[in-house]
Amino acid sequence: MTARHLEADVRCGPIATVVDLHGDISSASDETLGAAYARAEACGPRPIALNFHDVDYINSSGIALIVGLLVRARKSNRALLAFGLSDHYVEIFRITRLTDFMSIFPDEELALASAKSA
């Protein structure tokens, strides 16, 4: 399997800021993920939603990076959401108990609806 370098786009929206992730999330993604999160923070104090729809592979170092984002989000009392995860990674997020702190939705529409009602 060829690794796909992570790329990230940030969309500032009225309800939440969406970070579209493309590629694999591993230890090599630290800089990209951190920079994207900083750009999302700069959009304002809205919830940040991570879009995993175009992410095929997350290894445990990648999970550790997401834990790091959760720590940053919690320090600033900001909600962090996720959507577009495959069933496999929904299960991994559940087992690693990231779901205790991060709500997961099947798609963007439901994630934004939740952010709006929060």
Partner 1 sequence: MTTLRIAEAPEGAITINVNGRRIVGPLQGFGQMWQKTYRIRLVGANVDPLTVVRAWKEHFAEFWPPRNRFYGPLTGIAPGETAVLNITVSGMPLSTGVLVLYADDESFTLMTPQGHVFAGWITFSSFVDPSDGVTVAQAQVLMRANDPIYELGLRFGGGHRQEDRFWEHTLRSLAAYFGVKEPVVMERVCVDKHVQWREARNIWMNSAVRTMLYVLAAPVRWLTRRRAPAR
Build a one-symbol-per-residue string for 6-45: x at contacts with partner 1 by CB under 8 A, - elsewhere: ---------------------x------------------
DSSP 25: B
* Beta carbon of residue 10, minimum distance to partner 1 (angstroms, whole number): 23
Q: How far does Cα 4 stand from its chain's mean position?
A: 17
* 113 is a site residue for partner 1 (CB under 8 A): no
* Rounded CA separation 37/46 (Å): 12
Torsion-angle region of residue 113: left (phi > 0), alpha (psi -120 to 50) or beta?
Answer: alpha
- Residue numbers at the binding site for partner 1 (CB under 8 A): 27, 59-61, 63-64, 67-68, 70-71, 75, 92, 94-98, 100-101
